[in-house]
Amino acid sequence: MNDSFKVGVVGSGYVGLVTGACLASLGNTVTCVDVDEERVEGLRNGVMPIYEPSLEEMVARRYGDGSLSFATGLPEVVREADIVFIAVNTPPDDNGSADLSNVADVARAIGASLAVVERESPLVVVNKSTVPVGSGDYVSMLIREGAEDADVGYRVVSNPEFLREGSAVYDSFYPDRIVLGADSRDALDVMRDLYKPVIEQSFPTEMDPRPKTAVPFVTTDLASAEMIKYAANAFLATKISFINEVATICDLVGADVNNVAAGIGLDGRIGPRFLNAGIGWGGSCFPKDVAALRSIAREYDYEPAILDAAVTVNERQRRQVITKLQRELRTLKGKRVALLGLAFKPNTDDLREAPSLEIAKKLDALGARVVGYDPVAGKAAAATEPSLKVVFDMYEALAGAHAAVVVTEWEEVRSLDLEKAASLMEEPRLLVDGRNLFDPASAERSGLSYRGFGRRGA
């Protein structure tokens, strides 16, 4: 059993960088490899390609003590490493299926590297990227092709990530479970040793008391491990769409969805999480993974009706923002609308599939003037959506606005001074609460016209 490992992580984006920094913090020696020379040089100089709480400090500490390094060349890493993670992007194609071209390039490069280096033991190659069912066998085939039939030793493992943007470091150290799929018992044993400090929660920590005493370690076959990732995200997305469907019915019958969610969430079979009605889901995982699972189903001539419905409801929620604005403002031409929060969720700068950008584009097409605020993602949003004027003070965004839309539940937005907001805004001083953060009665008393999603009196 090893106490520490030499680890390579190919890809220094969101998953790769978090994985590399956390494994280095557990006592391993980690090299993050990336083909982007500018990104690698930036990381060596402390320039982060993403925003994630506490990650920058961790990378600086581990780079400073030599346990984390950055490189562009793969062969030397393959020569020295016990384990190499593939953690590159798998963006959706036009039909929703995952584009595996980045994974394929890495797999072939690993094969080519194995063919020209000498190793004493098989290399454990770990798929950390979100990949369709069957990708483990696909990667194994490409490694062999990259080696050009040279006799190389390797084992392929699927190790899906379950990191939440905004709390990815925490999720790495205190996961709900670790899932591994492989056909090789030896490879699973290596991975169990790698994750032993996390499984047993035996690593040093400043967090007291520890939030967990042990972490479930799930081992299965490659295909099942790959499916677990898609099924988990598809279920959570469907749960959000379900409560949004209920919220629409609450609007019709005069019930309050927050009270309904609290009531049903007490049922142990349901649970309270992911029962927050509002604008719906976005980001890098839910849209991509649901689309990929729908695409996989259709490859086998199966229509995934529940997943299709989840997507339909989610798309409707964004349109409801426009409907609520039109209902109260009548025409949107010449109206100023403030968007509070632009990232798809708080504590990240990620704008992938962010509701804010779609809403801003639609409002601009209808003649509104849109101004947005986000404490982290503002500059990126301004560069992404030209119709959006971005300011860096929330109350500046509200000044002169006829309506404001709560898009992202940043702590700054949760702490909005409703009376101050009303004093800065123009009639009708409409607040469309896309995350159901505020009490409707309190908002009305403050001088705002409140409209939520499934809220009583809204």
- Residues with a known catalytic role: 285
- Cα–Cα dist 395/422, whole Å: 10
First to last CA, the chain: 60
- Cα–Cα dist 396/411, whole Å: 17
By the 10 Å C-beta count (0-12 exposed, 13-18 middle, 19+ buried), 6 is classed as middle
The answer for 268, left when phi > 0, alpha when psi is -120 to 50, beta otherwise, is alpha
Name the phi and psi angles at 96, rounded to 5: 95, -15
- Cα–Cα dist 403/337, whole Å: 5
Kindly tell me the sign of the dihedral angle through the C-alpha atoms of 75, 229, 177, 53: positive
- Cα–Cα dist 142/138, whole Å: 6
Asked whether the beta carbons of 412 and 378 are under 8 A apart, the reply is: no
- Cα–Cα dist 304/292, whole Å: 11
Rg of the chain in Å (alpha carbons): 24
Asked whether the beta carbons of 155 and 182 are under 8 A apart, the reply is: yes
SS3 100: coil
- Cα–Cα dist 373/99, whole Å: 33
Bond prior to 428 in cis (omega within 30° of 0):
yes
Asked whether the beta carbons of 55 and 14 are under 8 A apart, the reply is: no
The structure tokens listed for 250 are 């609450």
List the one residue out of 68, 75, 78 whose CA is nearest residue 32: 68
- Cα–Cα dist 166/407, whole Å: 16
Question: What strand order describes the sheet that includes 369-373?
Answer: 388-391, 369-373, 336-340, 403-406, 430-433, 449-451
